Structure 1
Amino acid sequence: MTRKSKIIAATAVIGIAGVGVGTAFVVPAIAGQTEAASVALSEQEAASIALVAAPGEVLESELENEDGLMVYEFEIQQGDAIREVEVDANTGAVLENKIDDGDEDEGEETDDEDLEEAETNQN
C-alpha cells in the first residue's frame, strides 16, 4: 500500500468515526424536535395559557410525553409559592394547576393518611 493510499484510508476511518460520534449527539436533539413538531401549540402559546391560569413568572418549562399525551409543564413563581401548571400541548386545556410542594410522594402519603383517618372516624 502506498503512502497516499494509507493517508486516504486513515482519513476515511477518522471520517466514519466522526460521523458516528456526531450522530450520538444529534439523534437526541432530533428526537426532541420531532416531539415539538408533533404538537399544535408552541411553548410560548402554552405559556400564555398557563400564565392566565396562574399569573406570575415562568421559572421552568418542559414538553413531556405523559402516557401518550403531549403536555407542557410549567413552574410559575407566585410570590413565595411555586405553582405547577400542565397544559395539553394540542388542545390548550389546563390539566393541572397546583402548588408545587417539591415532593409528590409526600403529598400522596398525606392523602393515604387522610383516607385512613376518615375510615377510622366512620367506625
Structure 2
Amino acid sequence: MPYNPWASYWHNPWYNRLITQQHAVQIALQRIPGQVIRVEMDTENGILVYEVNIRTAYGVYEVKVNAANGAIVDIDFDND
C-alpha cells in the first residue's frame, strides 16, 4: 500500500474536532478581505492547516489557518 501522509489525520478521532473549511475561510477573510481563489489542507511545521489564497487589489495573500483551533499560523504575500 502506498504511503498516505493524511491517513493518520483521517483515521484519528481528533479529526472530527477540526474546524470546517468554511470556518477557516471566514477567519482568513476577517484578517484579509478579498476574493478567495483557492483553499487546500496541508501541514505547516507538523500542524494541520488550511491554506486560504485570497486575491486583493494589492496581490494574492496565502493565509494559513490552524485546522484544530482556528488560529492564524502565517500570512504570506505575493504581489506578482
TM range (shorter): 0.7 to 0.9
Following the alignment from structure 1 to structure 2, what is the Cα–Cα distance between the partners of residues 88 and 100? Answer: 21
1:60-106 residue CA offsets vs partner (Å, 9 max, x unmatched):
1111122321111111000241011111111111111231256xxxx
CA drift at 1:48: 0.3
| Higher share of residues assigned strand | 2
Larger Rg: 1
Give the TM-score normalised by structure 2.
0.75
Match of 1:11 in 2: none
Structure 1 moving runs of 4+ over 3 Å: none
Tell me if structure 1 keeps the 8 A contact 2:58–2:79: no
Aligned-residue Cα RMSD (Å) equals 2.8
Q: Which of structures 1 and 2 has the larger relative contact order (alpha carbons within 8 angstroms, sep 6+)?
A: 2
Q: How many residues align?
A: 76
Match of 1:54 in 2: 32
Give the letter aligned to residue 59 of structure 1: I
- Structure 1 unaligned runs (5+)? 1-22, 103-123
- Answer with 73-82 or 49-58: which moved more: 73-82
Query: 1:1-123 residue pairs with structure 2 within 5 A?
Result: 31=7, 34=10, 38=15, 40-101=18-79
Give the TM-score normalised by structure 1.
0.51
1:4-49 residue CA offsets vs partner (Å, 9 max, x unmatched):
xxxxxxxxxxxxxxxxxxx98xxx6x84x817x7152010000000
| Higher share of residues assigned helix | 1
- Residue 73 and residue 101 in structure 1: after superposition, are their counterparts in 2 closer, same or farther (change >3 A)? same
- Structure 2 unaligned runs (5+)? none
Give the letter aligned to residue 64 of structure 2: E
